[in-house]
């Protein structure tokens, strides 16, 4: 099935203007595959984050691009399959900050799908990469698609909270209401000690949700 056709109907409607870009990206991914390049995540997981409908999204966490490890990338930013050991370094820092910020948590195994069930969209800025090569697909045009995804969410819920970690994610700052953004440096080991650890993004997000009349997330 073609990538665009695999989207749920509400996302096909919200991303209709992105269909030509998605089709072009898919052609290029197919060319890479013909040349023996392994793409992550797998074809049917590229739009895994969009199984959550726009109307149900209350928080968007924006990552950079998928983990380049074939056993880690699952189509949800920062998340990994249950049972992954050890956790990727960025996710270890997220879990550490989560414990420091809110205490008891439900995601120590690295599977963040329980957040998705509560309306958290786990969106990468770039939706694919080459196995073993982070950032390999930054040039394909995915940024247009991820921007359109956020715009569709905002149209459905103007009070959505954007959690933006790092330079790539911060490109989307203006797509959210200015008072509904929680931001810091990226949680990677290279930057986490320069403002991510101690930033309390989870409690800050819940405060914004409650203030806008929404339920908090059980992180």
User: 166 with 219: CB under 8 angstroms?
Assistant: no
Write phi, then psi, for 26 (nearest 5 degrees): -60, -40
Render 119-160 in DSSP notation, one character per residue: TEEEEESS--EETTBTTTTTTSSHHHHHHHHHHHHHHH-TTP
- Name the residue among 177, 139, 210, 188 with its Cα closest to residue 60: 177
Identified catalytic residue from 24, 65, 101, 174: 65
Nearest-angstrom CA–CA distance, 126 and 136: 10
Question: Residue 65 catalytic?
Answer: yes
- Catalytic annotation, residues: 65
């Amino acid at each position: 099935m073609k990538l665009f056709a695999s989207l749920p109907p509400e996302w096909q409607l919200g991303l209709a203007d992105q269909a030509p870009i998605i089709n072009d990206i898919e052609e290029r991914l197919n060319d890479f595959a013909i040349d023996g390049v392994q793409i992550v995540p797998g074809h049917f997981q590229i739009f895994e984050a969009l199984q959550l409908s726009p109307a149900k999204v209350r928080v968007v966490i924006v990552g950079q691009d998928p983990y380049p490890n074939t056993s880690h990338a699952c189509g949800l930013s920062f998340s990994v399959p249950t049972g992954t050991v050890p956790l990727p370094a960025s996710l270890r820092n997220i879990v550490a900050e989560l414990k420091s910020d809110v205490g008891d948590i439900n995601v120590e195994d690295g599977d963040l799908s329980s957040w998705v069930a509560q309306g958290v969209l786990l969106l990468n800025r770039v939706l694919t990469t080459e196995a073993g090569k982070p950032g390999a697909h930054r040039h394909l045009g995915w940024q247009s698609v991820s921007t359109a995804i956020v715009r569709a969410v905002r149209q459905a819920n103007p009070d959505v909270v954007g959690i933006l970690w790092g330079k790539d994610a911060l490109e989307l700052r203006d797509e959210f209401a200015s008072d509904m953004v929680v931001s810091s440096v990226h949680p990677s080991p290279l930057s986490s000690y320069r403002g991510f650890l101690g930033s309390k993004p989870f409690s800050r997000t819940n405060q914004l949700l409650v203030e806008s009349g929404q339920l908090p997330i059980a992180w």
